Amino acid sequence: MSGDDRDERAARVESVLRAASRIADVNDPLGMEARRRLPGTSGLSPEGVALALAHHLETGASADGLDTLIDACPPAPRCHVVLAANVCTAAVRASACAVASAAEVFVRPSRRDPVVAELLARALADDDAFTGRLWLNDVVEPESGEVLHVYGRDETIAAYRDQLPEDVSLWAHGTGLGVAVVEESVGLDSAATAFAQDLVPFDGRGCLSPRLVVVHGEMRRAQAFAAAAHAALTREGDAIPRGPLEANDAAALVRYRDTMVTIGEAFEGDHHLLSFDPAPESLALGPALRCALVIPATEVPAPLRRLVTHIAAVGFGGEGPLAAELAALAPGARRSALGMMQRPPLDGPVDLRARL
């Protein structure tokens, strides 16, 4: 591959990041439009949207990160992207990966939440420096030798896989689970604050969002962490309320709350539900609505071992044997410090488990 070609691909990624910067900018018309429309499509509160755009939308990449991204996305004649009702900012990274592969990109936005994809396409169309083309398209018809990225649930991915010509490369971006580990070496209050900063963005609905917190040590330490995290989530929730709950969501939360009251403890706030299981026989995970389960452990518990292939992200609160064991069991998971789980560097797809 020539250096020029690589430079062109990097330049197209930079264009996507410039477009994203406009969406992140509260004073840019695109940024204003995003803040106006996303509360109605993303399920997030206006404050949650503002947080996502200001702190979790990728607007830059390090030189190393860009290199890694270019390496991760092999060139192709054209690239197609199917977006899901994913976290609302996901279109940016997905588009960056797509333009790194091909100058011509076709994006099928989520019907439920097309906002960022639409704004991105408009920003790129306005950018004279963008050497590629990015079209929004309802029809997904990749041809021989092209690449298709599908974001969504397993069933959606399988449906596309079944229809594809053999020589189309499918990159499947399925669902995943975030796990936080609180080692004995860290203070509970600081770990709780960092954890809350990981759970609040996107209301805990992302594949990087921590749905489970494993606290190294005895039951009382985990319980103390849960209480500290409840306080931290309450503070965060005052500033960043959870998005409005649909009837199904509210009912699912009530069911989960009563289940956890029965088997352990439920720490319910206006905008979160944290649960604690002192002696887990299984993982009583809650719905992805700013919910997380806290458990004590001195080694990776058996029920979690059965789910390791689903772990997309691990947030480490300190170093120790539990963290090391989990890292070894889930080598494909994205690793970060607790508090940084929702700010992965732009170095390719967010989910490192799947590769072409």
Partner 1 sequence: MRPAPAEISTALHARVRRFIDASMRGEPSEAFDDIARAIAAHQYRSVAPVRRLFDRGERGEGLGEVDRLEVDAIPAVPTDAFRHRRIAAHAPSEDERVFLTSGTTTGLEQRGRHAMRETRTYAAGALAWGRHMLFPDTEQLKVIALVASEEHAPESSLTFMVARFAEALGGDAGYFWDGERLDVEGLGDATSQLTKPALVAGTSFAFVHLLDALGSERRPLPEGSRVMQTGGFKGRTRSVQADELRCAIAELFALPEAMVVAEYGMTELSSQLYQPTLRHRVCGDVSSETTPTSPRGYRAPPWLRVRAVDPVTLAPVAQGEVGLARFVDLANVDSAIAIQTADRIREQEDRSIELLGRAPGATPRGCSLALEHLLTGASE
Cβ count near 256 (within 10 Å): 21
Neighbours of 233 (CB within 10 A): 27
**Residue 100 beta carbon to partner 1: minimum distance, rounded to whole angstroms:** 20
Length of the chain: 356
27 in contact with partner 1 (CB under 8 A) = no
- In one-letter notation, the amino acid at residue 68 is T
Cβ-based nearer residue to partner 1, 66 or 84: 84
Name residues contacting partner 1, limited to 310-339 (CB under 8 A).
310, 312
Q: Which amino acid is at 23?
A: I
Nearer to partner 1, 165 or 244 (CB): 244
109, 178, 241, 315: residue in contact with partner 1 (rule CB under 8 A): 178
Q: For partner 1, give the closer residue by CB, 250 or 328.
A: 250
CA–CA gap between residue 146 and residue 129 (Å, rounded): 24
The piece of 26-34, 51-59, 92-100, 286-294 that touches partner 1 (CB under 8 A) is 286-294
263 binds partner 1 (CB under 8 A): yes
Interaction of residue 84 with partner 1, rule CB under 8 A: yes
User: Could you tell me how far CA 250 lies from the centroid of its own chain?
Assistant: 23
Positive or negative torsion for Cα 17, 22, 23, 24: positive
Residue type present at position 275: S
Residue with smaller CB distance to partner 1, 181 or 311: 311
DSSP 276-305: E-SS-SS-----SSSEEEEEEESS--HHHH
Give the residue with the Cβ less far from partner 1, 44 or 121: 44
CB proximity list for 45: less than 8 A, separation 6 or greater: 39, 240, 241, 242, 243, 244
The answer to the question of residue 254 lying near partner 1 (CB under 8 A) is yes
Total Cβ atoms within 10 A of residue 68: 16
Query: Where do we find the tokens 């509210």?
Result: 250
Closest distance to partner 1 from the beta carbon of 248 (Å) = 5
Using CB under 8 A as the binding rule, the residues of this chain from 188 to 207 that contact partner 1 are: 202-207
Smallest gap, in angstroms, from Cβ of residue 129 to partner 1?
Answer: 31
Site for partner 1 in 96-125 (CB under 8 A): 112
Q: Examine residue 150 and tell whether it contacts partner 1 (CB under 8 A).
A: no
Residue type, 325: E
303 near partner 1 (CB under 8 A):
yes
Q: Which residues bind partner 1 (CB under 8 A)?
A: 42-43, 84-87, 90, 112, 151, 153, 173-178, 202-207, 209, 211, 246-256, 258-259, 261-263, 277, 280-285, 287-289, 303, 306-307, 310, 312, 351
